Amino acid sequence: MSVPSRVIIATRESALALCQARYIRARLITLYPSLEVELLGVTTQGDRLLSSSLSKVGGKGLFVKELENALEEGHADIAVHSMKDVPVLLPPGFAITVAGEREDPRDAFVSNKYANLSSLPAGAKVGTSSLRREAQLRARHPHVAVVPLRGNVQTRLLKLDQGQYSAIILAAAGLKRLGLASRITATLEPEDSLPAAGQGALAVECRESRTDLIEMVAPLCDPETQWCVRAERSVSRALSGSCVMPIGALALRVETGWSVRGFVASPDGKRYVAAEEWTSDLSADPEAVGQALAHRLLADGAREILDSLPHDQ
């Protein structure tokens, strides 16, 4: 295998994104001690447009496009993303690798006053940037007021500490990677808040033509994490999932094989369809299992929900 002598990693400039990029850099240097690895900070449109919810300004792909531009224009060799931010349909000519073992995929309840969602009083303000989280909150806890919350992790925590919210919902993985696990008041189990496809996993993206880079990052892949992420993204892809659609998916390795759960909901949480697909075949194709789950959801009523929702422009 031919390993380049120098690699530039494109990354967002938030503390979490830089932490994740530095983790990949460290892993690469451990694998290839002579490799020179630099970081290229990029400000994405998603980082600039903080006054509106993601579902209204174009979806999570806004956190990825500028990094892909850096790859396409030759300013960087690879890009590191949170996998949940990567659209399930990549632009032509790009490839992704699931990198490393997955961190905790669950959502986290963070509050300075309340122990959990059930203890929130009527009208309590719960902040989230995710339509997926909002739909599940409205379905299971209709007594709370869901309020938009954008910004990086530290900004969101500051707004909570300033008293603008009774509680906020964040990805547990991000808090743990930043050394902020102590801020987690309660971890939300999938039965209460099913995560986004790929949540807690990292993605390394490069140009499809760069087979040297694809081979170089391949040893970073954790087989179990890869299986789960491929299955989850298959669910979302089969449902034409995007940021304007409240969709969640979570795959887990269980004693009897693999379990994949998913849901589709209306933004107000009044219509909600959930299902699970599992297989005892450890060598099962993750995409096939994910597609089977998506077809079950569609047959159970998800099609009507999805048809009523707006789609990305």
Residues recognised as catalytic:
85
* Residue 242: CA count within 13 A, CB half-sphere: 18
Name which of 62, 32, 14, 77 is nearest 206 in CA terms.
Answer: 77
Q: Please tell me the total number of residues recorded for the chain in this structure.
A: 313
> How far apart (Å, rounded) are the C-alpha atoms in residues 75 and 80?
14
Q: Are 264 and 297 in contact (CB under 8 A)?
A: yes
**CA nearest 8: which of 30, 31, 25?**
25
Whole-number Cα distances in Å, 119 to 25, 124, 253: 42, 10, 32
Using CA atoms of 142, 50, 83, 192 in order, give the dihedral in degrees to the nearest 10: -10
Distance CA 166, CA 184 (A): 14
- Residue 9 zone, left/alpha/beta (φ > 0; ψ -120 to 50; rest): beta
What is the strand order of the sheet 78-82 is part of? 36-42, 6-12, 78-82, 202-207, 94-99
Exposed/middle/buried for residue 119 (C-beta within 10 Å: 0-12, 13-18, 19+): middle
